[in-house]
Amino acid sequence: MFDGKWQCFQQREGETGQASLQQESESDEQPPGAVEGQSGRFQVTRDLPNEQRTDQIGNPLGEYPNGVLPMDVEQGNKAADEADAADEPNPSCCCGGSPACVLCFWTRMQCMCCVCICLILLVVAAYFVFPRCVTAQMDNDSFEITLLAYAVLPVPSVQFGAKLDVLVDNENYWGITVDTVKVYAKYKGAVLATSSLKNVGMVSRDEHKINVKLQQDSGALLSYAMAAPYFVQDCGINPTASSGTWKLDVEVDVNMWDSIPTISFDTSFDVPCYQAVGKSSATYANTTSGGTSKDKCLIPGSLGKE
C-alpha cells in the first residue's frame, strides 16, 4: 500500500518538474519565424514559404502566419537600432560625409569656416607672390665721359670711356636677380665701348642702382678705327672751344631671365668736342631719350604697367 502511494507521488513530481522545465524553456525561446541578430534584433525571411524561411546564416526558422513579426520583436528591433545610432559617431563632412575624406569635421559649420580661412590665405598668398612690374631706365644725369681722345697709332681711332647708372625698380614683395645688363656706346653705328654685367641681385620693393663702366676692348680695334673719320669730321684732330659737338648714342639692354625677351632703350647725347671729360651730362646742350622702358615691364604678364 505504501509503495503504491510512493510511486504515484514520484510520478506527479516528475510531471510537475517536466512542466516547469518546459515552461522555462518556452519563456526563453524566440518568437516563431524570427532569429536574434546584433543588438537583440530579430529578423525573418519573408520572401520564402514558411517551411523554407532561414536566418542570415542559413538556420531554419519556425513558421509564422503572414510572415509578420510579433509586436514585442518589432519594438525590440527599433530600440536596438536607436542604441546603435547613439553609439556610432556621425561627423558632417564637406566632401560627402565620409570620415575618410580629407576635410572632415564634426559639424558642417566647422568645415565651412575652415574652407573660408583657406580661401582667404590663398588670396593673401597670391597677392604677395604674383609677379609685379619691374622697370628699368638710364639715369641720364649720371652719365660722364672718363676718356675721349683721337689716337693716331697703331691706327687712327677714337679712344673712349664712360660711366653711368641704370635704375631698376622692383615692385615685387620678393627679391629678384637680373640675368644680364649690357650697355653699348656708339658713334654713328661704330661701337666705342661696351659693358656687360651678370646676375645683378636686388631687394624687394626698392629701386636698385646699377653702376656701369664703359670700356674699350683691345679686340675691337677695327670698330674704334671706323669712328675715327667721323670724329675728325665733326671735331677735328685737335678740338677747340669752337669745335662744336658730336652725337653719342648709349644703348642699354636688360634681360631678366633667358626665357623672356630683352628690353632695350637708348639715350642720345650731344657731347662737346672740347673738354668733355669729367663733366656731367646735365651740362650738355641736348639730351634725347628714346625707347625707354620706364613704362614697360621687364616681366611680361606681370601686374602693373604694360
Pick 54 or 183 by higher pLDDT.
183
Q: What is the mean pLDDT of the chain?
A: 74
d(CA 80, CA 38): 8
For 175-226, how does the pLDDT look when each residue is reduced to its tens digit (9 = 90+)? Answer: 888 899 999 999 999 999 999 999 998 888 888 899 999 999 877 888 899 9
DSSP 62-99: ---GGG---HHHHHHHHHHHHHHHHHS---EETTSS-T
How much is the pLDDT for 164? Answer: 94
- Is residue 211 within 8 A of residue 165, CB to CB? The reply is yes
Torsion of CA 28, 31, 34, 40, to 10 degrees: -50
Q: Residue 60 — pLDDT band, cuts 50, 70, 90?
A: low
Amino acid identity of residue 41, one-letter, is R
Cell numbers describing residue 25:
524553456
Torsion of CA 171, 174, 163, 294, to 10 degrees: -20
Q: Where are the alpha helices (DSSP H) in 162-254?
A: 221-234
Residues 6+ apart with CB under 8 A from 132: 171, 172, 173, 302, 303, 304
Residues 6+ apart with CB under 8 A from 265: 136, 137, 138, 251, 252, 289, 290, 291, 292, 293
For the cut 70, the answer to whether the pLDDT of residue 124 exceeds it is yes
Cell numbers describing residue 4:
503504491
Q: For the chain, state the CA radius of gyration.
A: 50
Q: Residue 227 — pLDDT band, cuts 50, 70, 90?
A: very high
- Is residue 265 within 8 A of residue 196, CB to CB? The reply is no
For 2-40, how does the pLDDT look when each residue is reduced to its tens digit (9 = 90+)? Answer: 454 445 445 555 555 554 545 444 444 554 444 444 444
